[in-house]
Amino acid sequence: MKDMNLTLKIWRQKGANDKGKMIDYQVAGISEHMSFLEMMDVLNEQLINSGDSPVAFDHDCREGICGSCSMFINGEAHGPVKGTTTCQLHMRSFKDGDTIYIEPFRAKAFPVLKDLVVDRSSFDRIQRSGGFISVNTSGNTQDANALPIPKQDADLAMDAAACIGCGACVATCKNSSAMLFVGAKISQYALLPQGQVESKTRAQNMVAQMDAEGFGNCTNTGACEVECPKGIDLSNIARMNREFLGGSLKG
């Protein structure tokens, strides 16, 4: 396949208090073997060489693990390929002459800092409110392998722990709900004996922080599960609701 020439329509915003707008850019000679972020690097090199400001975007591991590469691409979180983060998306998913729309994740709790970079520290605060377990560090810690755990529970906990906190669920939900993220973080502890110490308060604390951050309610449409690059299941939201109710009754 020959190299591609593309039109990029990118959201540019100088700062959190500035008014942003879509700006058109042309990039040429893009190989189908490039990742989407490599294509963005080519654009930024072009902008720097011409004396313009490069497009700000988050990235780190570029291996689909950290969740920082959050972009809305042609109206879809992380782009058109299911089960894929932006950094794993390759340009072979597009064709020569395409126009690609690139925007930041949009939610009240994810304010835009600059261009495609949003502040997702609200997720960190939710985690700090209850996403942890009490560990005996006195030197008498029990080996985790000594605790019998049914394989089904271990598998479900591992599936929930696969959430990378990218925020695609929030950006996709019409109410900007974080319930899939919070449900996954609650589930990974609720399913294991190590997580039972905080089980009476974890869901209450994390849900309260989620609400305080300004996230909306679940829409029950399932868009979050569809757009999640790690395939986090909606059943985690149901488990979160059960944990919340159970904690309320125990309290």
Contact criterion met (CB below 8 Å) for 4 and 34: no
**CA count, 13 A, side-chain hemisphere, 133:** 17
Q: What is the mean pLDDT of the chain?
A: 94
| β-strand pairing of 76-77 with 72-73 | antiparallel
Q: Using one digit for the tens of pLDDT, what is the confidence trace for 214-224?
A: 999 999 999 99
Q: How many CB atoms lie within 10 A of CB 167?
A: 23
Tell me the pLDDT band of 240, cut-offs 50, 70 and 90: very high
Q: Does residue 30 surpass a pLDDT of 80?
A: yes
Q: Using one digit for the tens of pLDDT, what is the confidence trace for 104-145?
A: 999 999 999 999 999 999 999 999 999 988 877 677 766 767
Q: Using one digit for the tens of pLDDT, what is the confidence trace for 76-85?
A: 999 999 999 9
Q: Report the C-alpha gap between 232 and 106 in whole angstroms.
A: 20
Q: Using one digit for the tens of pLDDT, what is the confidence trace for 53-72?
A: 999 999 999 999 999 999 99
Give the model's pLDDT for residue 137: 65
Domains of the chain: 4-113 (3.10.20.30), 120-134+147-250 (1.10.1060.10)
Q: Report the C-alpha gap between 173 and 163 in whole angstroms.
A: 16
